[in-house]
Structures are given as structure tokens and as C-alpha cells.
Amino acid sequence: MVKRENTRTPVSQQPHIVDKPADTATIGGTISVEINEKKVTVPLGTTILEACRQNQIHIPTLCHHPDLCIAGVCRICVVDVEGMRTLQTACSFPITSPIKIRTSTPMVRKARRHIIDLLLSEHYGECYSCFRNGNCELQSLAKEYGVDSYTFGHVEKPRYEVDNSSASVIRDMSKCILCKRCVRTCIDLQEVGVLEAINRGHETHIGTFLDKPLADVICINCGQCINRCPTAALRANDPSDEIWAAIDDPQKHVVIQTAPSPRAAIGEEFGVEPGHSFTGELNTALKRIGFDKVFDTNFTADLTIIEEGTELLNRLKKAIVEKDESVKLPQFTSCSPGWVKFIEHFYPEYLDYLSTAKSPQQMFGAITKTFYAKEAGVDPADIVTVALMPCAAKKFECNRPEMNDSGFKDVDYGLTTREMAKMIKEAGIHLPEMPKSNFDDPFGEASGAGLIFGATGGVMEAALRTVYELVTGREVPFKNLVIEPCRGFEGIKQASVKLENCVEEYKFLEGVEVKFAVAHGTANAKKVMEMLRKGELVGYHFVEIMACPGGCLGGGGQPIPTSADIRKKRAEAIYAEEESLPIRKSHENPHVHYIYEKFLTEGPCSKLSHKLLHTHYTKRGKFIS
Amino acid sequence: MEIILEKNKKRTGPVIFSKYNMGEGIKKALELGRENLLFEIKGAGLKGRGGAGFPTATKWMLSAAANAEKKFVVCNADEGEPGTFKDRVLLLEYPELVFEGMVIAGYIIGAKTGIVYLRGEYEYLLEALEEFLMKMREEKLLGKNILGKEAFDFDISIRLGSGAYVCGEETALIESLEGNRGEPRNRPPYPVNTGYLGYPTIVNNVETLASVPHIVTKGGEWFKKYGTDKSTGSKLFSVSGDCAKPGVYELPWGTKIKELLELVGAKNTKAVQVGGASGICIPKTQFDRAFAYEDAATGGSIMVFNEGRDMLKVLKNFLEFFVEESCGQCTPCRVGNTKLLEGVEKIERGEYTFAYISNLKELGHTMQVASKCGLGQSSPNSFISILENFKDEIFRTNGKGRNNGKA
Ligand SMILES: Cc1cc2nc3c(=O)[nH]c(=O)nc-3n(C[C@H](O)[C@H](O)[C@H](O)COP(=O)(O)O)c2cc1C
Ligand code: SF4
Ligand code: SF4
Ligand code: SF4
Ligand code: SF4
């Protein structure tokens, strides 16, 4: 018997761990079946859906998602299996005997059409006034099955009130088709557990604890549910109207910072295959749209490395030299706002382990409305800061009441990759055709270390490049600066680097084996936190956590769809771009040196940097009153 | 309610309600051994009494063959089908049959744990049943080394359901036992391999389990003397509706509808709903059909409707039940039942076309084949059979549509 992976998903919903017949070995672990009269051989336990896809037979799906466990609820993938009284769902049916499958019988086609008709009958709204128009799985199905009228009627009034309480995620349940992808995302993938089906029968709907507004429950704003919703039932809280208004207001100086992940994915919104970066093209497009300055978030990613790295070295010194037992180690990264809210809710007693360094987005806001305002001679009251992020949680983050350290709202708007693409299209620009241009000064180009923040393990890799060199005076001992143990999509990665021949200042670290861990997706974060709780992280120094699967490149604000394959391609695009950059270490970024010379003159983790670049957290807890 | 009050009185009948001395079944089972037991039950032709009619021996053989460190025997006492109350009678009057049936099942498949999933509304039975289990433990019919048999341990606990009809569906029941929302699972894998907590589990109806000690003590041949070729033994019928003597009746399979009607004192009967809300509605012209798996199949619920009943209202009642009781996870059932109900309401108002009605019937067929569990697969049965068998009554029109002002 195979043990179940997580506690909720019923074993039966996971076809890959279905008990396999004992004679697997004797028949070589494969089995021959007939699909539409064609003989095909597949590994035992393959689902009908997988078998069909491997053989270029298209089966429509709706509740199925490659990142999630099987649900088998929409029923659109039904096929005929000879000898069975009812049709079977291809997504959930594991092949363990030599069955005969038919994927397009009159009964199958009729059932699929009925299912679409039924969904449409309860689905509020029309496609032309819908933001998912053109990228909606329900709409595509209706098209595929030639739906030209509503056989069983069509709702005329919304059934549910739109929940726009959250700064990040808006829920319009009148458009929900109850595929439960969001539920499975939130419970199984993220292990947050905000969403679940409520009530029975016709009253069934996806809701929160006691149907409270999303802002009042333990949602971490990761937006992963949005990326997996097939319809317009979930979307991010879109500030583009306000941004247009700011752009159109001549009084306002509108500045945008762009994070690494959107560049590696925004092409997808323009029909380009995943895996192409459009950094230079995006810069041009943004300037044409009317942003006054286009800055690179990687600059503050470099700054984060300096601040967070210094903080780590300070903690280590306190622990090792001063033998201060109150020092919390390992230090956890704090740049993923979904992760920050997760730990605030689920592990508030461990908040002291979190680095106090702000995320690059928030550092940029604070620097823009102070240092940049002065340098450029603009009144910070007139500056509007926009952050292009792959992320839904960034919207919540910039609205945190403590994020006003510049004396103004440090970051005015968090904009997702999807929303940015929409603005670009609205401006009549086809992104892939744009000429390339550079980021604006005074922050200019950043280092490649900042760029790889977009992939899981990137922050760790960037930090190690800097910390190792600061401490030993030598480059990290990895070929071409590529720290392999930090790369790849394994849920939790653990490794260590030994510090030897340290420079004078860091002699206390001589011989220390720096142990680190990297996790992505809050389900993995939870595992890491349980390790910490059980004392299994004793001796560890640094842990990177990203709330979203794959890291930011798989963020909740990225183009839809997402899948392991797409995330992998985005990562490849990021790593390829980074290797071509002239500067690949945060501490070698000349603009970073400039700011410590001109502005943060007392250096990293000093008083001013604490005021502008560091923050504090809130013990939220799991219980909602 | 008279049934409940006759607490210490046991009713009698040919098979299930025939004479039985507590402990005999387990004793005989231990003498026979697993193989012979399975052979006997198979020979008896015992099929599930919970509605689906799956051959019991096959189910038990499958899970006996499964390799696992733990296995479970679950007694389905959720009795949620509208119009059934026979399991309650068994639990009240013959708990020894049900529990011993579970012990024997455990012995056969190699389980040590039995769970009774008791309908929430039957909470008042709980104390008496717990007492009975204590008594069985004292008599070594439960617990460690049952009746002195080395390493044969089996015990039973009782869990209360929480009131959803769908939780009687075996995989929803298992989900509910695991503490999850009561939603049916995908099959395969089947519970016999991957059931409660992922372990091989057999789920059987109260009456199925209660038949087992009789078969074991009296033999499969004896059991087969009752009933038809394909439907062996007897069946408990819960009769309700327009008749003089509603209640629980034990009759051999193969009994004709008209015979039952006579027995229960039904007069002017227009229709009989066989198999509860999810069953089919049989008109007067077909009353010489027999109750049997191969003919008018039923888990026991029989509702009698006389000439005074409005069949469209009857149908509407059933559909309202399904619209509410669907677990809501799959499209054909969640939305389909709503659409069928909407259709009935349109018929009531006279706002329909025959093309629309025929669309709805087609939809009913889709629901039968595309729904995830038995609830959605059987909920259109009443819609299809009532519209078919009572079309004259229902589509009685005054030129355009039904005049519901009068009906
Ligand atoms: C919606 C639904 C409700 C059901 N309710 C019950 C029930 O209350 N009691 C029962 O024994 N079987 C019920 N069943 C049938 C069970 O799923 C299962 O077939 C039965 O418990 C197997 O036992 P048997 O083989 O002994 O009949 C129900 C099935 C469905 C689809
Ligand atoms: S969610 Fe999809 S089907 Fe619904 S209105 Fe929007 S585009 Fe159309
Ligand atoms: S945003 Fe994340 S935490 Fe919030 S409901 Fe969606 S998946 Fe769950
Ligand atoms: S909100 Fe979206 S993902 Fe969630 S169940 Fe509804 S349609 Fe599916
Ligand atoms: S058929 Fe109905 S009760 Fe069964 S799983 Fe589907 S929605 Fe739930």
C-alpha cells in the first residue's frame, strides 16, 4: 500500500497510487488497450486521459489541472469503456486491465454537450464583457462543441454578491462552475485551506469559513487559485484604471519598477511560446504607454541581498562570538509576501526567524519617494509608484499600513503581469514587436543575482554569491557562479557550503559549514516549519521560502495557464538571461555602491536603512473572530 | 411508529425473521473456515440489499484477496432512501444477526475492525446497541480470540451519520467516516481495495449482513429455496403510502406487486414507486410484475399511490428531494436535477413544448450515465418513468398546456 501524500486528498482520487495487480512484473508493467479501435500500449495505472493524450486523442477537460489531484467532478471528460454500465471519466480512470475505450460515441458527445449546456445555464454573464474573454476554458469548450443557444436557459441575475474585500483576490461566484480547482489549490497545493465547497445540492458554492469576506480569513493572497480557475470567477484586484488616471495626469510623476518574473512570462499574453524574455521590449512599451521612468526591481533585489546578507552575518556573529542564545537561526527570507502572511497566520511564534528586510518591491518604493525624489528634484507627493509583479500578494503588501516609511505610501499600486499585458494591448502595442531599450537611471541595470530572484532558490543563490565572497574574499566555489544545489523544482532543497580561509573580519566563521534550505509553495513551507518546530533545523543558517510553486515565476499574477512545464520554461528564460549579464553579484552592482555612498551612508542595517528598508510583522494567528 | 414500541417482541418470517439463536452463526462459521463460508454465501446467491444488488460473495472475495495490514467491515445503517425503515427494525429486533454478520465478514476478509454507520436520526437506538455489543463481548462473540479461536479478534464500533442522504452511498460514507465532506469518490479504485483510510473495506447493508448468519447456519441451499433463480432468499419491504397496513414485511423475492398490495390493504392503487425516490414508478397496468433484481428491483422502499394522487406533484416532491440532497460536486446531478425540477414547474404552469420535454428526458439519460455516483445516476428514474407512464394524466391539456388551476 502506498501511503497518501497529504492528509486531505482521498487516496482514491489519486490514480497514480492505485493498488496495482501483483503480476505487474510478469507483464513488464505495461498494458495494451484499445482506444477508438486502435491498439496502444501504456504503463499500467496510466489514466485514460493520459493514454489518450499520449496518442494524440483530444479529450476535453475542465476540472482537471496538471498541478492538482484528480477531482472527477465536471464530468466533461467522460468516455465509453466497453462493458461498463455508465460512462467513465477519463481523468480518473486508471488502466489496469485490457479495456476498450471509445472517446466519441453519440452518447459521449451528447453527454458532453449536456454538461456544457448545464454549466452555461447557471453561469452568469456574457463573454464580451468578461476579462477572461479569449482565455477561458468554459468559453473554449462552448466553442469546441458548437454551442449556439442556451438549451436549458441562462441565468439573468447574479446569484452571489462579488467579494471584493481583499486587496489581492476578487471572487465572483456567479461565474463559478464548481470545478474546485481553487479548493484543491488552496488546500492541497498551498495547504492554506481558505476555500471549500459549502452547502449541498443546488445551494453548493465555494466559500470561506462561515462565508466571511476573503479579507477577513486566513487567505495569504498568493493568487494561486486565480491561476488555476478556468473562468472569470477569480481574478486579481486590478488597479489599472487608477494607473491610467495617474499617467494621464500631467501633475503626476509615474514611476514603474518591473520584477524579473513578468519579463520572462509576459510574452505568453501575446501568443509567444513560454520561455522567452521580453525585458528590453517591455521597457520600450512601458515608456510608450507613458510611464515617466522605468526601473528595475532587481536593483532593490541586490539591495535586499546586501541588507539581508548583512543581517545574517550579524546574527551569526551574535550567536557565535557573543554567544547570545536569543538569536534566532536559521534566518528565513522575507521577500515573498504570501509566505510572510502565511507565517503570520500559521506560525506567528516564529516571526523572529524572519529577516526584517523588506521585499525588493517595498524597498524600491521607499527609495523612490526619498532618494530618487531628491535626486530627480520631484516632490514625492507627486510621485506615483507602480510595481509590475508576478504576484497577487504584492497588492496586499503595498497596502500594509506599516509600508509608509517614506512618509507616503511607499508603493501605490501592485500590478500583475496579466494586468500589464492588458494595459499594453489597450495602448495599441504588440509587445514582441517593440525595439529594446534600457532601464532608466539612476538605478540602471542591476545584477544577474537580482534577476534569478524569480526562480525558487534564486534568492539563496544570490545571497550565497555575496555572503561567501564577503566572508572569504573569493567567489563561490561553483562553476560559472551557478550554484547547482539551489536550482531545480524539488519541493525542498537542502545543502551546505563550507567557509574556509575567511578574511580577518569574519574569522569567527572559519570552518563553519553554512547549511541552507530552499522551499517553494506553502505546502512545502509548512513542512519546513514543522522541521523547525521539531528541532530538525538546528545547525541551519539560512532558509529561502517562496509562497508560490516554482517561486515568483509561478506567481499568482502570471499569465494563465500555468503548469510544471510552463514554469520550467520561464525558469530557463530567466537563467539564460542572467548568464548573459555583465554583473552577476549583488555586491558588485555599482548603483548599489552609489546609494550607500550618497544616501544610506551608514551602511547596511544602519539606522536609516532600518527605517526605510526593514520592517516588522504582525502575529495574526489562525483563528478568526 | 408502532414498530419501535414493540421493543422486546421479535416478528417472524421465512428467512431473515426466521428463528435464530445468538452465537450460532459465528460458531458455525469458525467450524467451516473461510473457503467454505465464501462457497456457501456464493452458493446462496446473496446479493446486496442496499439497492445496487452487487453479489456479496464477490465483494468479499475481492477484499479477502487484497493484501493489506488492515481491513475494515462497514455496516451501512444510514437508511436514507425515502420510504425505507426496515434496517431500523432489524437493528431493533435482531441486532445479533447484523453484528454476527459483520463478525463473519471480518473473519472471511481478514478484518479486525467493524464500524456501523448509523443514521443520525437513529441516535435513540445507540444506547441499546452499545449495550448489546457489551453483551456480545461478554459472551466472547466480540473482542480478542472470539469463541476461543486463536488470533481471531474483531470488534465493532458505532458512528453516527450527520443527516445527508448521499452519505449512504458507500464512498461518501467512507469520506464521512474519515471526517471529510460527504462526497462520493471516483471509482475505480473500489473500496474493496482502497476504502476507509485507504485500506480494503467492505460496505454492506444491514439486511445483507443480517442474512449471513442464517445462510451460515442453515445453508445456501436452504436460502435458495426462497425467491427466484436470480434473486434468492427473501426481502424486507418498507411499505408506506395509501394502504391500510403500512409497515415492514418479509416476503420472498418474486412476489408480485399486486400480491403485496393485497397484503397491505391498498385500494384504488394508481401507482407504486418501487425503490424509493431513486426508483421507478410502476403504473396499474404493470402490477403483475414481480419484485426481483431482474424485474422491479428495490432496496426495500415501496410507496403506494392511489387514484387521488397527482403524479406530477409526486414527481416534483422527488425532484425537490434530489435538488437538495445531491452532494453538489458533479455537474449532471447538481445542475441536472435543478433543470428537471424547473421542467416540472413549467409543466405545472403549462409553459412547455414537447421538444423541451424531450430535451429534458435526454438530459435524464445523460445524468444516468454521466453522474459520478448512484444518486445522480438514479435521480432521473422517477422523472423518466412518471412522464412516460403517466403522460396522459400529466399532459392532460385544455388546448394549450396543463390547466394547473384545477389539478
Ligand atoms: C445516494 C445513495 C444512497 C444510498 N443509501 C444507502 C443506504 O442508506 N443504505 C444502504 O445500505 N445502502 C445505500 N446505498 C447503497 C450503497 O452505496 C452500497 O451500494 C451498499 O451499502 C452496499 O451494500 P450491499 O451490497 O449490502 O447492498 C446508497 C447509494 C446511493 C447512491
Ligand atoms: S468566464 Fe468565460 S464563459 Fe464566462 S463570461 Fe467569461 S469568458 Fe465567457
Ligand atoms: S489566494 Fe492563495 S491562500 Fe488565498 S484563497 Fe487563493 S490559494 Fe488560497
Ligand atoms: S472559483 Fe474558479 S476554480 Fe474555483 S470552483 Fe469556481 S470556477 Fe473552479
Ligand atoms: S451524482 Fe450527485 S450526489 Fe453523486 S457525486 Fe455527483 S453531485 Fe454528488
The catalytic position among A311, A344, A544, A577 is A311
Q: What is the C-alpha separation between B196 and B119, in angstroms, rounded?
A: 18
In which residue are the cell numbers 447493508 written? Answer: B205
DSSP state for residue A443 in the 8-state scheme? T
C-alpha triplet A435, A266, A170: angle, nearest 5°: 140
Do the Cβ atoms of A179 and A70 come closer than 8 Å?
Answer: no
Do the Cβ atoms of B255 and B290 come closer than 8 Å?
Answer: yes
Report how far ligand 1's centroid is from the alpha carbon of B52 (Å). Answer: 7
Q: Is residue A130 flagged as an active site residue?
A: no
Which residues are near ligand 4 (CB < 6 Å)?
A 176-182, 206, 228-231, 233-234
User: Nearest Cβ partner of B198 from A4, A177, A197?
Assistant: A4
Q: Find all residues with CB under 8 Å of A384, minimum gap 6, and list them.
A: A243, A246, A252, A253, A254, A255, A412, A413
Amino acid at B337: N
Please give, one letter per residue, the 3-state secondary structure of chain B: CHHHHCCCCCCCCCCCCCCCCCCHHHHHHHHHCHHHHHHHHHHHCCECCCCCCCEHHHHHHHHHHCCCCCCEEEEEECCCCCCCCHHHHHHHHCHHHHHHHHHHHHHHHCCCEEEEEECHHHHHHHHHHHHHHHHHHHCCCCECCHHHCCCCCEEEEEEECCCCHHHHCHHHHHHHHCCCCCCCCCCCCCCCCCCHHHCCEEEEEHHHHHHHHHHHHHCHHHHHCCECCCCECEEEEEEEECCCCCEEEEEECCCEHHHHHHHCCCCCEEEEEECHHHCEEEEHHHCCCEECCCCECCCCEEEEEECCCCHHHHHHHHHHHHHHHCCCCCHHHHHHHHHHHHHHHHHHHCCCCHHHHHHHHHHHHHHHHHCCCHHHHHCHHHHHHHHHHCHHHHCCECCCCECCCCC
Q: Is B140 exposed, middle or buried (0-12, 13-18, 19+ CB in 10 A)?
A: middle
B331-335 average pLDDT score: 98
Q: Is A99 helix (H, G, I), strand (E, B) or coil?
A: coil
Q: Find all residues with CB under 8 Å of B5, minimum gap 6, and list them.
A: none
Q: What is the C-alpha separation between B406 and B399, in angstroms, rounded?
A: 15
| A60: closest CA of chain B, how far (Å) | 14
Q: Do B342 and A153 touch (CB under 8 A)?
A: yes
DSSP state for residue A518 in the 8-state scheme? E
Residues of B in contact with A107 (CB under 8 A): 369
Residue A535 grid cell? 528541532
Q: Do B332 and A96 touch (CB under 8 A)?
A: no
| Among chain A residues, CA nearest to B189 | A12
Widest pairwise Cα distance in chain B: 78
Using alpha carbons, list the distances in angstroms from residue B327 to A174, A187, A506, B78.
19, 19, 63, 16
Q: Do B193 and A114 touch (CB under 8 A)?
A: no
Do the Cβ atoms of A556 and A341 come closer than 8 Å?
Answer: no
**So what's the pLDDT on residue B7?**
52
Q: What is the C-alpha separation between B258 and B261, in angstroms, rounded?
A: 5
Interface of B with A in 318-377 (CB under 8 A): 322-332, 334-339, 342, 359, 362-363, 365-366, 368-372, 377
What is the residue-wise DSSP string for A366-410? HHIIIIIHHHHT--GGGEEEEEEES-SHHHHHHT-TT--TTSS-S
Residue A309 grid cell? 546578507
Residue A145 grid cell? 462543441
Residue A589 grid cell? 552592482
Task: Specify the ligand 4 atom closest to the Cα of A228.
Answer: 3
Residues of A in contact with B178 (CB under 8 A): 10
Q: Is A219 helix (H, G, I), strand (E, B) or coil?
A: coil
Using alpha carbons, list the distances in angstroms from residue B142 to A487, B106, B115, B138, B270.
57, 11, 13, 8, 49
Residue A569 grid cell? 520554461
The b-or-e profile of B12-49 (16+ CB within 10 A means b, else e) is: eeebbbeebebbbbbbbbbebebeebbebbbbbbbbbb
Mean pLDDT in each 10-residue stretch from start to end of chain A (625 residues)? 35 37 55 96 95 97 96 98 97 96 98 98 96 97 95 96 98 98 96 96 96 97 98 98 98 97 97 96 98 96 96 96 95 98 98 97 97 96 98 98 96 98 97 97 89 96 96 95 96 95 95 96 97 96 98 98 96 95 95 94 95 96 81
Q: Find all residues with CB under 8 Å of A332, minimum gap 6, and list them.
A: A343, A353, A354, A355, A543, A544, A545
Q: Do B66 and A151 touch (CB under 8 A)?
A: no
Q: Is residue A572 flagged as an active site residue?
A: no
Widest pairwise Cα distance in chain A: 80
Pocket test for ligand 1, best of B170, B211, B378 (most atoms within 8 A of CB): B170
| Among chain A residues, CA nearest to B360 | A152
Q: Is residue A335 flagged as an active site residue?
A: yes
Do the Cβ atoms of B383 and B340 come closer than 8 Å?
Answer: yes
Check pLDDT > 60 for residue B254.
yes
DSSP state for residue A149 in the 8-state scheme? S
DSSP strand pairing (A78-81 vs A331-332): unpaired
Ligand nearest to the CA of A126: 2
Using alpha carbons, list the distances in angstroms from residue B293 to A278, B158, B274.
67, 30, 12
Q: What is the C-alpha separation between A187 and A225, in angstroms, rounded?
A: 10
Q: Do B175 and A10 touch (CB under 8 A)?
A: yes
Q: Is residue A311 flagged as an active site residue?
A: yes
**So what's the pLDDT on residue B397?**
57
Phi-psi region of A59 (alpha: psi -120 to 50; beta: other; left: phi over 0): beta
Q: Is B143 exposed, middle or buried (0-12, 13-18, 19+ CB in 10 A)?
A: middle
The DSSP H or E segment spanning A167 is: none
Report how far ligand 4's centroid is from the alpha carbon of A559 (Å). Answer: 17
B67 — contact with chain A (CB < 8 Å)? yes
Q: What is the C-alpha separation between B149 and B104, in angstroms, rounded?
A: 13
Query: What average pLDDT does chain B have?
Result: 94
Pocket test for ligand 1, best of B49, B81, B121, B235 (most atoms within 8 A of CB): B81
Do the Cβ atoms of B104 and B216 come closer than 8 Å?
Answer: yes
Q: What ipTM was estimated for this complex?
A: 0.94
Check pLDDT > 60 for residue B401.
no
Do the Cβ atoms of A72 and A49 come closer than 8 Å?
Answer: no
Amino acid at A563: S
Q: How big is chain B by its Cα radius of gyration, in Å? A: 22
Q: What is the C-alpha separation between A156 and A122, in angstroms, rounded?
A: 9
In which residue are the cell numbers 541588507 written? Answer: A307
Task: Specify the ligand 4 atom closest to the Cα of A171.
Answer: 1
Do the Cβ atoms of B240 and B304 come closer than 8 Å?
Answer: yes
Dihedral angle sign, alpha carbons of residues A542, A548, A550, A555: negative
**So what's the pLDDT on residue B162?**
84
Question: φ, ψ for residue B156 (rounded to 5)?
Answer: -125, 135
Q: Find all residues with CB under 8 Å of B34, minimum gap 6, and list them.
A: B64, B107, B108
User: Residue B221: how many CB atoms within 10 A of its CB?
Assistant: 11
Predicted confidence band of residue B399 (pLDDT cuts 50, 70, 90): very low
Q: What is the C-alpha separation between B155 and B110, in angstroms, rounded?
A: 12
Residue A80 grid cell? 465509453
Q: Find all residues with CB under 8 Å of A420, minimum gap 6, and list them.
A: A262, A266, A388
B117 bridge partner residues: B76, B159
Residue A556 half-sphere exposure, CB side, CA atoms within 13 Å?
Answer: 38
Higher pLDDT: A275 or B2? It is: A275
What does the pLDDT look like over B80-124, one tens digit per residue?
A: 999 999 999 999 999 999 999 999 999 999 999 999 999 999 999
Q: Do B187 and A12 touch (CB under 8 A)?
A: yes
The catalytic position among A335, A486, A548, A605 is A335
Q: What is the C-alpha separation between A511 and A497, in angstroms, rounded?
A: 10
Q: Is A548 exposed, middle or buried (0-12, 13-18, 19+ CB in 10 A)?
A: buried
Q: What is the C-alpha separation between A501 and A507, in angstroms, rounded?
A: 8
Task: Specify the ligand 5 atom closest to the Cα of B337.
Answer: 2
In which residue are the cell numbers 517553494 written? Answer: A520
**So what's the pLDDT on residue B10?**
84
pTM: 0.94
Percent of chain B with pLDDT over 90: 93
Q: Is residue A179 flagged as an active site residue?
A: no
Q: Is A116 helix (H, G, I), strand (E, B) or coil?
A: helix
Q: Is residue A394 flagged as an active site residue?
A: yes
Do the Cβ atoms of B233 and B295 come closer than 8 Å?
Answer: no
Please, what are the domains in chain A? 29-237 (3.10.20.740)
**So what's the pLDDT on residue B359?**
97
Residues of B in contact with A78 (CB under 8 A): 369-370
Do the Cβ atoms of A340 and A354 come closer than 8 Å?
Answer: yes
Q: Is residue A219 flagged as an active site residue?
A: no
User: Residue A107: how many CB atoms within 10 A of its CB?
Assistant: 16
Ligand nearest to the CA of B275: 1
**So what's the pLDDT on residue A625?**
63
User: Nearest Cβ partner of B68 from A1, A87, A93?
Assistant: A1
User: Nearest Cβ partner of B193 from A19, A92, A93?
Assistant: A19
Whether B356 is in the pocket of ligand 1, judged by its Cβ within 6 Å, is no
Dihedral angle sign, alpha carbons of residues A555, A560, A565, A569: negative
Please, what are the domains in chain B? 24-221 (3.40.50.11540), 234-306 (3.10.20.600), 311-404 (1.20.1440.230)
The catalytic position among A77, A179, A391, A552 is A552
**So what's the pLDDT on residue A44?**
94
